[in-house]
């Protein structure tokens, strides 16, 4: 699907976890308190789940899974960490109790049909009220939450080494045909291929010097799939390969690097890059809106949530910004806190300040 925005994006519809990993792992590494409540991470080797700011020793990256909610982590078989006590985190949304009931019901009934009518009848709510309240609170529909939960359980099983059949049954897919139909777009590969780490994708990348340090740009045959900043070529390549662990990756020149460098120098305010990235429907709405923010301007997370019609989804907007895989092309650096302070940035606060200062100067 090509979007008529400043940047054309080829978008499919995978579960959010595909692009949580890099940003959320960075938060775990840095014990980032600002991300507490945005997500939880679970460690396969210990069976424990934690808040991002947990002071426990850093786990190995290959043993970590990320979850929207602590209840989903528990349903997947993990127990709460005794050090950071993630279950003690207060719920921020006034409709948290209602959303909690809906999520619990979905998680316990993944094998059955989860229509709005079914959910409404079981919970004593009108389908309209249920859908509106749920989506307003966490940014996705009950159906999308059910799909995401099934996929999380499937991935947890596959990464533990379970067979595809066992993981399929445990995660609520009623048949192998349904499993492959639903996961073809969500995983971007078959479950068997995912179990092996993913293979077959051909990606070319290049690393160049930029005003903000070393810059890595990567692309498939369809378009740019990753733009990231770092301190060294080795670290950039290492983190990039972790994101695409079994793809066919090779170094080589890319035609868009010069355009990105001109953009960083303020010579070319608008980027026109073909993108090959995956998103949920909610991420797509946020990312499309970010591309409409003018060069040199900023907006707050809450303003963006209101602009896309979901004023209570501020945290979900922040999550979408944190999981943006293509810096600059989707200008998440133009999103600031309500008081005007810069807030966080996946590639470092100093880079965000430099980007905003340069755009303000050139404007």
Q: How far apart, in whole angstroms, are the C-alpha atoms of residue 1 and residue 99?
A: 32
- What is the Cα–Cα distance from 278 to 182, expressed in whole angstroms? 15
Query: 122 phi and psi, to 5 degrees?
Result: -65, -35
- Among residues 230, 260, 252, the alpha carbon closest in space to that of 243 is found at 230
247 in Cβ contact with 202 (< 8 Å): yes
197 Ramachandran zone, left/alpha/beta (phi>0; psi -120 to 50): left
In this structure, what token pair is assigned to residue 180? 């492959």
Active site annotation includes 50:
yes
Tokens linked to 355: 């980007």
Instruction: Identify the helix (H) or strand (E) that includes residue 67.
Output: strand 64-67
Instruction: DSSP for 146-206, please give it.
Output: HHHHHHHHHHHHHHTT--HHHHHHHTT--SHHHHHHHHHHHTSS-HHHHHTT----EEEEE
Backbone angles phi, psi at 17, to 5 degrees: -55, -25
- Distance linking the first and last C-alpha atoms of the chain: 32
Q: Which helix (H) or strand (E) segment is 205 a member of? A: strand 202-210
Query: Does 332 qualify as catalytic in the annotation?
Result: yes
Tell me how far apart the alpha carbons of residues 28 and 94 are, in angstroms, rounded to a whole number.
27
**Taking a C-beta distance cutoff of 8 angstroms, is the pair 288, 277 a contact?**
no
Q: Which two tokens stand for residue 129?
A: 């009220």
Please write down the HEC assignment for all residues of 257-288: HHHHHHHHCCCCCCCCCCEECCCCHHHHHHHH
Question: How many other β-carbons are positioned within 10 Å of the β-carbon of residue 300?
Answer: 18
Q: Which of 50, 54, 81, 103 is catalytic?
A: 50
SS3 299: strand
Catalytic annotation, pick one of 54, 225, 321, 332: 332
Give me the active site residues, please: 50, 332
């Amino acid at each position: 699907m090509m979007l008529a925005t400043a940047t054309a994006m080829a978008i499919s519809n995978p579960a959010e976890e595909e692009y949580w990993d890099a940003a959320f792992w960075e938060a775990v590494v840095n014990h980032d308190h600002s991300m507490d409540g945005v997500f939880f991470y679970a460690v396969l080797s210990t069976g424990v789940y934690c808040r991002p700011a947990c002071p426990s020793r850093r786990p190995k990256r290959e043993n970590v899974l990320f979850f929207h909610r602590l209840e989903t982590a528990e349903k997947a078989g993990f127990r709460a960490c005794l050090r950071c006590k993630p279950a003690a985190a207060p719920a921020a949304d006034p409709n948290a109790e209602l959303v909690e009931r809906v999520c619990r019901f979905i998680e316990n009934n993944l094998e059955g049909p989860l229509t709005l009518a079914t959910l409404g009848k079981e919970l004593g709510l009108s389908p309209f009220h249920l859908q509106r309240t749920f989506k307003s609170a966490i940014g996705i529909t009950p159906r999308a939450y059910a799909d995401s939960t099934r996929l999380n359980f499937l991935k947890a099983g596959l990464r533990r080494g379970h067979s595809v059949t066992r993981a399929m049954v445990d995660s609520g897919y009623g048949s192998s045909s349904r499993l492959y139909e639903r996961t073809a777009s969500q995983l971007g590969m078959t479950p068997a291929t995912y179990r092996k780490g993913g293979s077959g994708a051909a990606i070319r990348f290049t690393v160049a010097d930029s005003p903000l340090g070393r810059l890595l740009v990567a692309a498939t045959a369809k378009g740019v799939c990753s733009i990231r900043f770092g301190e060294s070529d080795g670290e950039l390549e290492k983190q990039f390969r972790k994101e695409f662990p079994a793809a066919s990756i090779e170094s080589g020149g890319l035609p868009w690097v010069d355009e990105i460098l001109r953009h960083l120098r303020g010579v070319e305010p608008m980027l026109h890059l073909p993108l090959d990235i995956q998103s949920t429907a909610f991420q797509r709405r946020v990312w499309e809106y970010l591309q409409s923010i003018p060069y040199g301007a900023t907006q707050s997370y809450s303003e963006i949530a209101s602009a896309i019609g979901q004023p209570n989804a501020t945290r979900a907007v922040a999550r979408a910004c944190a999981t943006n895989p293509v810096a600059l092309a989707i200008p998440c650096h133009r999103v600031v806190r309500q008081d005007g302070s810069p807030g966080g940035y996946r590639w470092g606060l100093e880079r965000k300040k430099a980007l905003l200062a340069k755009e303000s100067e050139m404007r």
